[in-house]
Amino acid sequence: MSASMESSMFTPHKYFLAHISLDCVVFGFHENQLKVLLAKLKGRDEWGLPGGFVGIQETAEYAASRVLKERTGLDQVFLQQFYVFSDPDRGEQLKEVESLKAISGSAIDIEWFKQRFISIGFYALVEFSQVEPTPDVISDACQWWDLAEVSKLMLDHNLILQKALETLRLQLNYQPIGYNLLPATFTMPELQRLYEAILGKQLDRRNFHRKITGYGILKKLNERRTGVAHKAPDLYSFDLDKYHQALKEGLQGGW
Amino acid sequence: MSASMESSMFTPHKYFLAHISLDCVVFGFHENQLKVLLAKLKGRDEWGLPGGFVGIQETAEYAASRVLKERTGLDQVFLQQFYVFSDPDRGEQLKEVESLKAISGSAIDIEWFKQRFISIGFYALVEFSQVEPTPDVISDACQWWDLAEVSKLMLDHNLILQKALETLRLQLNYQPIGYNLLPATFTMPELQRLYEAILGKQLDRRNFHRKITGYGILKKLNERRTGVAHKAPDLYSFDLDKYHQALKEGLQGGW
DNA sequence: GCAAAAGTGTTGGCAATACACCCATGC
DNA sequence: GCATGGGTGTATTGCCAACACTTTTGC
């Protein structure tokens, strides 16, 4: 975290808009599992989503990308707002004095955290291997969690995560997904595992192949993945022109 | 508007969260046209969406329904957030002194309107005939506009309207729509005109009939609309149980 | 009777599903 | 060679779109 960001937490009201926060649901994909990036707040046992605040001259989108850059090291990730969480009691947990003691040592403005926040939910799709999970000044850990192993999170973050996943599943119906979650080259079975992980259900190998190639967003490379057991699968990459065109114009049909 | 709401505009910082506003895109349907409710701010020539602020103990959803109640007289309308507009310059127009002179006469806190607002966009579907458009303290007119006749609106409200319409069209793909926009009983052609108005394109009468009845959300009544020229069409109403079930579980296929 | 609009039925094509066969690799 | 997994092809089904005929009403 930059020096200016450090100082911004001493006097946050000078740098950020009051009452507005954002939470990022960062999805990654590794070993056939959908992962989500979580941070552990100092002095609390619970984990939560990486979050932040909106600078007085930032858009919410820019603020989210800044937070993401700080937590993952990544620029230019796929990032999209999906819902606003505005229950007046959603921050009650944080207001307990005990919860804030641990972070008060670092001269951070505790009063800032006691105000009511309306939080804008963003979700991000990132390439797992490229991420360097990094805690911020108010958290003492930051790491990937298997989606299936996420238990009770702080505040309403379980709700936010659930809503993000729902949105992602809907997204799958009219937008291509994968460029942001997979390495530059990948095999058809890997792409299928990604879709299965997001949807939470098995898909037919042959029908998946037909449907996904039908979108015309894939380029088949003249290579195969070697060294694996069994038949070597073909390698693919995304045709970025057509991929972005499909992002804009939408796809047909659902899963 | 209630007396307490009046006074809340004298000292809004005591009643509302700073920096957060909301704008409502209220859709109605009348004479085969999709309509949107607009208000004209005092001292300005431009029209804009009905908006408001979030009370210090309200959810954003509750605040939107309160605003809607004030502008339309309606309770219990279909209301949904769809996007957050956070460009730091989106409020520049309002900060001009001239723009605010006209409303300063009513002892309203001008400083409040000069701050930067992040606005939560809501869209509402209401029954046209039930609405009584009502201006608020800072506007001197409030009325329905034909969607096709809406020209330049204040601030970024054209963008908000466009985004609302996009969302509504997507919504049509997986949720039933109509209960909130049509009278209790209606004919199949009327329902079709509504879909056509939302989608901005013509649909085949017979395929529409099959598809919409296939959802199982309609009840055919033992009546017809009389007095009209030509063959009397059957009257329908929504089967509310199944309608709400479909709202939750979603529909199949797109338009 | 005629024009205009509404109700209903039929057909063809395309897309999703289910399923079968062959191929390559590690052991 | 055999088990495992990947690549490709085919038949069936069901949905969507295009289209025709009949019925009812006002004039």
Which member of A17, A120, A174 has the closest CB to residue B19?
A17
Show the tokens assigned to B118: 């992040």
Beta pairing class for B118-125 and B16-30 = parallel
User: Quick one: three-class SS letters along B130-170?
Assistant: HCCCCCCCCEEEEEEEEHHHCCCECCCHHHHHHHHHHHHHH
Residue nearest to nucleotide C27 (CA to C1'): A229
Q: Which residue shows structure tokens 């602020």?
A: B53
Beta-sheet strands, E only, within B42-146: 47-48, 51-55, 78-85, 118-125, 139-146
Beta bridge partners of A106: none
CATH 3.90.79.10 domain locations along chain A? 3-171
Those residues of chain B whose CB sits closer than 8 Å to some CB in chain A are 17-20, 54, 56-61, 81, 83-84, 86-88, 116, 118, 120, 170, 174, 252, 254
Q: What Å distances lie between residue A93 and A9, A115, B128, B201, CA to CA?
A: 20, 12, 43, 50
- Cβ neighbours, 10 Å, residue A2: 9
In angstroms, the CA A80 to CA A247 distance is 13
B151 against B12, higher pLDDT: B151
| Mean local confidence (pLDDT), A94-105 | 69
| Mean local confidence (pLDDT), B48-65 | 96
Domain A186-249: which CATH class?
mainly alpha
Which member of A58, A60, A86 has the closest CB to residue B60?
A86
| Mean local confidence (pLDDT), A138-150 | 93
In angstroms, the CA B29 to CA B23 distance is 20
Task: Write down the pLDDT at residue A12.
Answer: 84
In angstroms, the CA B34 to CA B220 distance is 25
| Mean local confidence (pLDDT), A212-236 | 89
H helix count then E strand count, chain A: 10, 10
**pLDDT tens across B210-254, in order?**
999 999 899 999 888 887 778 899 999 999 999 999 888 877 656
CA-based nearest residue to B179, from B29, B8, B44, B16: B29
Lowest mean pLDDT among A6-10, A49-53, A187-191, A240-244: A6-10
Cβ contact A43:A94 at 8 Å? no
Task: Write down the pLDDT at residue A104.
Answer: 64
Q: Which residue shows structure tokens 């009643």?
A: B15
CA distance A250 to chain B (A): 11
Spanning CA of B231 to C1' of D23, the rounded length in angstroms is 8
CATH 1.10.10.10 domain locations along chain A? 186-249
Task: Write down the pLDDT at residue B111.
Answer: 85
Beta strands across the sheet bearing A186-187: A186-187, A234-238, A218-224
Chain B residues with CB inside 8 Å of A92's CB? none
Show the tokens assigned to A112: 């800032």
Of all residues in chain B, the percent with pLDDT exceeding 90 is 67
- Collect contacts of A100-105 with beta carbons under 8 A, ≥24 apart: A100/A43, A101/A43, A102/A42, A102/A43, A102/A44, A103/A41, A103/A42, A103/A43, A103/A137, A103/A138
| Mean local confidence (pLDDT), A158-177 | 92
CA distance A17 to chain B (A): 7
- For the cut 50, the answer to whether the pLDDT of residue A3 exceeds it is no
Q: Check: CATH 3.90.79.10 for A3-171?
A: yes
Chain D footprint bases within 7 A of protein beta carbons: 3-10, 15-20, 23-27
Task: Write down the pLDDT at residue A105.
Answer: 66
Cβ contact A118:B60 at 8 Å? yes
